[in-house]
């Protein structure tokens, strides 16, 4: 037992290496939320009238709504008037075109290169978001040649207002839920991406979100539109400094997949999880949804969730086009006092639609990890098919793993299968490894990686390497 | 609501058998309160018209070394509305728990609805818990296999349904069930014509 304690102590003292703060001059709007603040944000971003109206309408809707409390989470009370809704690094007037070296340094430290020459030839294009604004978007030129638009959301509003207006809130309506309404009212920046007809995006596109300022929340909005027959692989990463206060992150991601298009969306979420006693950490309350609009379209979600004090996130797909398909692959790791309530929704509307859900939850320490999923077969979903598999792995005596699937079938020609198991790392497996000279920690890493392999294999290469390391670090010393 | 407490070493067997024409709202809570306590719950429903069947189970594993198994299978035809909402809660420290929960459904008609929520809440680590749920239809290939061997369609469907339900048929009620299945198959065939 003392060994166990020692190992647990070791872990809790292990470091969140992205926890540093960048010291840069920032512009804030005052604390609190009211129509005046929204007008200020809109003015700061030089937005057109219609967008301000959109925000105000969302704000009024939000005031009528209630915070959802149905998650298997112990959500702390959030004082929405005690949050700064806009924070941006000050622009240097002498060098308006260049990136502040300090910001560049920050992203370098995080391993996100903002200078194109530093990147291996044409691997990843990055949109880096620092608090409320996008710092830079790389490889714009290369992408423009193909007709691909990849820029910050604010820029898209200015340069491609028609596209933004057409698709904004078309997948996640303003009134969809409490946090989506809040985001619609105060969203600050995010990425916009449009892939034209028949274009295969030549590189991975990526957004990197960084929360830096104290007392702020991050409310980014991402909109991805893949036109007929196009392909794109999109990755998202995020980190935040270590603080003993909770910080709110309420994002909205919308994805529109037209006929025969293929979108792959990957997330490695590594927000600050709070300390071992559950102080601080990010409240990650996000709405992500895609629609397979045209026939034969395909959307694939892959997520590795290791961070955040609280995660409330259900990347979902509406399978509207006939014979469209979607996948959801997830690994969610919780340790210490972290809580995660995550899963997916697959709404089958079109004929012959197919979906597959593979969710692997790993809980350690005093954490609670829940899978919550909905599979719905609509009246018209003839021949539709779903397969779900949700496994939970428990490490230690004090954690919890829960599964809340919901299956609704309104069509006799649709097939739904769900299976789930819950177990712990077996002593036999550990013994086998240790007997062969593999230390306990490494053995757990090995077993967990094997357990999550099916999901990790879906990640783009650069991400997969990072995710594997994250898994190892997140679970360090959690064996008892 | 039914509530049962199972003491150490005891085994509780619960059987639910719901035939066409019967709407039922079952809500049952079982607590496994002593080591070695066990629950075996079997449920069967066969719906062919406008029945509403709702089954809600809550199984609490409060102490170590208890076993529970829930197997609920059913057929939804006509305009039936069927829902299953099951929850297994394994309390902290209830090591050595083995819990199984399965709900399988076959839908016969466009107008029948099935909703199923097999849920697990687990607070102990040395457990073996699994659940599964399916909603599907009678397999065309099996039907073809039988028909190509000269078995009439109605008989083949009956056989398919009976074999699907076989694991949950209470002893001594097989004939009753066969009769009901025959009626259901004929009924649903007329609907589709």
Which of B112, B131, B134 faces A420 most closely, judged by CB atoms? B131
Q: What residues of chain A have any CB closer than 8 angstroms to a CB in chain B?
A: 72, 377, 379, 392, 394-424
What's residue A13's pLDDT? 45
Q: Is the ipTM of this complex over 0.85?
A: no
The DSSP bridge pattern shows strands A133-137 and A124-130 to be antiparallel
Q: B130–A402: do the CB atoms touch at under 8 Å?
A: no
Give exposure, B139-175, as e/b (b: 16+ Cβ within 10 Å): eeeebeebeeeeeeeeebbbbbbeebbeebbeeeeee
> Residue A398 — φ and ψ, nearest 5°?
-110, 10
Distance separating alpha carbons of residues A335 and A359, to the nearest angstrom: 17
Tens-place pLDDT, residues A154-180: 889 999 999 999 999 999 999 999 999
Residue A445, pLDDT above cutoff 60: yes
Q: B125–A418: do the CB atoms touch at under 8 Å?
A: no
Distance separating alpha carbons of residues A88 and A100, to the nearest angstrom: 12
The half-sphere exposure of A161 on its side-chain side, counting CA atoms within 13 A, is 7
The half-sphere exposure of A12 on its side-chain side, counting CA atoms within 13 A, is 17
Distance separating alpha carbons of residues B12 and B41, to the nearest angstrom: 8
String of DSSP letters for A227-247: -TT-EEEEEEEEE----SSEE
Tens-place pLDDT, residues A386-433: 999 988 888 888 889 999 999 999 998 999 999 888 888 878 888 999
Which of B108, B115, B127 faces A422 most closely, judged by CB atoms? B127
Q: A67 — alpha (psi -120 to 50), left (phi > 0) or beta?
A: beta
Residue A188, pLDDT above cutoff 60: yes
Give exposure, B6-22, as e/b (b: 16+ Cβ within 10 Å): beeeeebebebbbbbee
Write B175-184 long-range contacts (CB < 8 A, 24+): B176/B19, B177/B19, B177/B44, B177/B46, B180/B19, B180/B20, B180/B46, B181/B46, B182/B154, B182/B158, B183/B20, B183/B48, B184/B20, B184/B46, B184/B48, B184/B75, B184/B77, B184/B108
* Separation in Å, CA of A251 to nearest CA in chain B: 28
**Residue A176 · residue A170 · CB < 8 Å:** no
Q: Which of A420, A426, A427, A478 is best to mutate for the B interface (most B CBs within 10 A)?
A: A420
Which of B115, B126, B128 faces A407 most closely, judged by CB atoms? B115
**Residue A246 · residue A339 · CB < 8 Å:** no
Q: B117–A404: do the CB atoms touch at under 8 Å?
A: yes
Which two tokens mark A426?
């077996």
Contacts of B135 in chain A (CB under 8 A): 377, 407, 409, 414-416
Distance separating alpha carbons of residues A210 and A470, to the nearest angstrom: 17
Contacts of B108 in chain A (CB under 8 A): 412
Tens-place pLDDT, residues A36-53: 999 988 988 889 999 999
Which of A396, A405, A412 faces B118 most closely, judged by CB atoms? A405
Distance separating alpha carbons of residues A414 and B30, to the nearest angstrom: 33
Tens-place pLDDT, residues A457-474: 887 776 777 777 777 777
Tens-place pLDDT, residues A263-286: 999 888 888 888 877 788 889 999
The DSSP bridge pattern shows strands A400-409 and A368-377 to be parallel
Tens-place pLDDT, residues B113-160: 999 999 999 998 888 888 999 999 888 899 999 999 999 999 999 999
Contacts of A413 in chain B (CB under 8 A): 137
- State percent of chain A over pLDDT 70: 88
State the average pLDDT over residues B167-188. 88
What's residue A479's pLDDT? 55
What's residue A105's pLDDT? 72
């Amino acid at each position: 037992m003392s060994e166990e304690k020692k190992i647990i102590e070791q872990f809790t003292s292990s470091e969140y290496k992205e926890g540093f703060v960048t010291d840069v001059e920032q512009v804030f709007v005052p604390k609190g939320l009211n129509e005046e603040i929204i007008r200020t944000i809109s003015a700061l971003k030089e937005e057109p009238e219609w967008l301000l109206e959109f925000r105000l309408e969302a704000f009024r809707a939000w005031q009528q709504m209630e915070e959802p409390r149905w998650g298997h989470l112990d959500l702390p009370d959030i004082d929405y008037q005690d949050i700064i809704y806009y924070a941006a690094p000050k622009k240097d007037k002498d060098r308006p075109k260049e990136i502040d070296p300090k910001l560049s340094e920050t992203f370098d430290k995080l391993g996100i290169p903002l200078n194109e020459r530093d990147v291996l030839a044409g691997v990843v294009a990055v949109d880096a978001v620092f608090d409320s604004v996008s710092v830079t978007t790389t490889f714009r030129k290369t992408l423009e040649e193909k007709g691909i638009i990849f820029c910050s959301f604010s820029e898209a509003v200015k340069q491609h207002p028609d596209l933004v207006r057409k698709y904004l809130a078309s997948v996640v309506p303003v009134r969809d839920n409490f946090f989506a309404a809040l985001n619609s009212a105060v969203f600050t920046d995010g990425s916009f991406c449009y892939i034209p007809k028949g274009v295969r995006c030549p590189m991975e596109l990526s957004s990197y979100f960084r929360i830096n300022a104290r007392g702020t929340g991050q409310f980014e909005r991402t909109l991805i539109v893949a036109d007929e027959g196009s392909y794109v692989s999109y990755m998202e990463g995020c980190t935040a400094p270590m603080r003993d206060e909770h910080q709110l992150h309420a994002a909205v991601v919308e994805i529109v997949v037209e006929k025969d298009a293929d979108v792959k969306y990957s997330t490695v979420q590594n927000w600050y999880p709070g300390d071992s006693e559950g102080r601080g950490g990010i409240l990650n309350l996000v709405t992500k949804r895609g629609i397979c609009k045209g026939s034969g379209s395909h959307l694939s979600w892959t997520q590795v969730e290791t961070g955040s004090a609280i995660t409330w996130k259900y990347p979902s797909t509406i399978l509207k086009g006939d014979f469209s398909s979607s996948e959801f692959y997830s690994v969610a790791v919780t340790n210490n006092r972290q809580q995660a309530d995550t899963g997916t929704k697959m709404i089958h509307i079109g004929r012959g639609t197919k979906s597959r859900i593979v969710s692997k939850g790993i809980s350690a320490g005093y954490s609670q990890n829940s899978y919550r999923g909905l599979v719905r077969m609509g009246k018209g979903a003839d021949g539709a098919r779903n397969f779900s598999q949700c496994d939970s792995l428990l490490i230690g005596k004090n954690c919890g793993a829960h599964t809340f699937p919901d299956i609704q079938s309104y069509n006799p020609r649709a097939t739904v299968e769900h299976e789930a198991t819950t177990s712990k790392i077996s002593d036999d497996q550990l013994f086998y490894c240790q007997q062969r000279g593999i230390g306990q920690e490494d053995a757990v890493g090995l077993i967990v990686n094997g357990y999550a392999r099916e999901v990790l294999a879906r990640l783009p290469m650069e991400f997969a390497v990072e995710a594997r390391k994250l898994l190892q670090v997140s679970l360090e010393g959690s064996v008892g | 609501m039914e509530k049962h407490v199972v003491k150490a070493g005891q085994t509780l067997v619960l059987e639910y058998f719901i035939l066409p024409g019967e709407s039922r709202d079952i809500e049952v809570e079982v607590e496994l309160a002593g080591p070695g306590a066990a629950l075996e719950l079997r449920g069967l429903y066969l719906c062919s018209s406008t029945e509403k069947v709702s089954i809600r189970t809550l199984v609490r594993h409060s102490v170590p070394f208890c076993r529970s198994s829930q197997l609920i299978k059913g057929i939804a035809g006509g305009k039936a509305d069927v829902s299953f909402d099951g929850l297994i809660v394994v309390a902290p420290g209830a090591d050595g728990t083995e819990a199984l929960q399965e709900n399988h459904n076959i839908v016969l008609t466009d107008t029948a609805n099935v909703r199923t929520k097999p849920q697990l809440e687990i607070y102990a680590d040395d457990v073996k818990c699994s659940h599964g749920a399916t909603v599907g239809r009678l397999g065309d290939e099996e039907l073809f296999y039988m028909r190509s061997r000269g078995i009439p369609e109605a008989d083949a469907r009956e056989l398919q349904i009976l074999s699907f339900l076989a694991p949950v048929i209470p002893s001594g009620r097989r004939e009753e069930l066969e009769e009901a299945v025959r009626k259901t198959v004929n009924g649903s065939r007329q609907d589709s014509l």
